[in-house]
Amino acid sequence: MTPRGFTKPLYILPFDHRGSFETGMFGWKGDLTPEQTAEIAAAKRVIFDGFQKAVGDGVDKDKAGILVDEQFGAAILRDAAALGFHFAMAAEKSGQPEFDFEYGEDFAAHIEAFKPTFCKVLVRYNPGGDADLNREQAARLKRLSDYLQGAARSLFMFELLVPAEKKQLEQFKGDKKAYDRELRPQLMIGAIEELQRAGVEPDVWKIEGLDRREDCEKMVATARQGGRGNVSCIILGRGEDDKKVHEWLTTAAAVPGFIGFAVGRTDFWDPLVNMRAGKITREEAVTEMARRYREFVDVFEGAKGVA
């Protein structure tokens, strides 16, 4: 089946982080208490408020969107729907090397309960990695893809991560930046093609940051090959600093087929840490998140059509 695709501008603020919130932000391990769960949910509410402020301050609502998880963000998902925002919902288990459904065989019921604009998966898939693992992941992802292609169901957003295999990294003497620049782009193309052959048909690909325009152009061409002309790409922030994220946004924005971005941690992490440490107020955190998100929108918009 050919995907429906999505071609409108799309500026996503993702805060579907789960394991990184529990351990990295809060320092908690093991099963959470109801109080701890509520505290993380409250932190995510701050991020959502920052997003809403950015829209109130001038970011085009039709281009704006959020990505959040059901575990800590169920109320936010419902509010986003009621307020008419584009919103994406995570379907994968957090922090696992292998893709699997967060809610197992009940995955469809959870998607239908919220009816998100996009159902999102994060998948680590290296075509030079474990072939059996890749086949198992692709089979699960095809189930989801086939389900989502049903009438009036959510669009499919696919976050593709291609972590280096040990031998691949050794080619660059352990230099991850060299791997990212010289090898990862072609591995990403190989991963997309393998997944397409396996019947996995996203409407939007979330792509790790690329340093070269030609790599962005190849990514779009691969995503849209074979009659997939309405499939688009958005660029990820990967938690990098502002300077690097600005570079990636600028490079991608100039390429037709890259319709936007998904930048999360670079936007909200520091303001949230500072708020929790008592260095800034909740209102100041909301304002800073809104400012950062608006800045990323301005960078992307400003770079559109640049040769």
Question: Which structural domain range is residue 123 located in?
Answer: 10-303
CATH of the domain at 95: 3.20.20.70
Q: Which residues contact 274 (CB under 8 A, 6 or more apart)?
A: 280, 285
Q: Which residues of the chain have pLDDT under 50?
A: 307
If DSSP codes are grouped into helix, strand and coil, which group holds residue 103? coil
The pLDDT value given to residue 151: 73
Cβ distance 203 to 234 under 8 Å? no
Buried residues in 101-112 as b, exposed as e (16+ CB within 10 A): bbeeeebbebbe
User: Which structure tokens are listed for 57?
Assistant: 């301050």
**Is 3 within a domain?**
no
The pLDDT value given to residue 306: 56
Q: Which residues contact 167 (CB under 8 A, 6 or more apart)?
A: 128
From residue 35, alpha-carbon distances to 31, 42, 72, 106, 269 in Å are: 12, 10, 12, 26, 21
CA distance 243 to 265: 14
The pLDDT value given to residue 95: 83
The pLDDT value given to residue 1: 72
**Is 1 within a domain?**
no
The pLDDT value given to residue 96: 86
Kindly report the CA angle at 281 between 278 and 286, in degrees rounded to 5?
Answer: 125
The pLDDT value given to residue 307: 47
The pLDDT value given to residue 26: 93
User: Which structure tokens are listed for 249?
Assistant: 């946004």
The pLDDT value given to residue 246: 95
The predicted model scores a pTM of 0.95
Q: What is the number of domains present in the chain?
A: 1
**Is 5 within a domain?**
no
**Dmax over Cα atoms in the chain, in whole Å?**
53
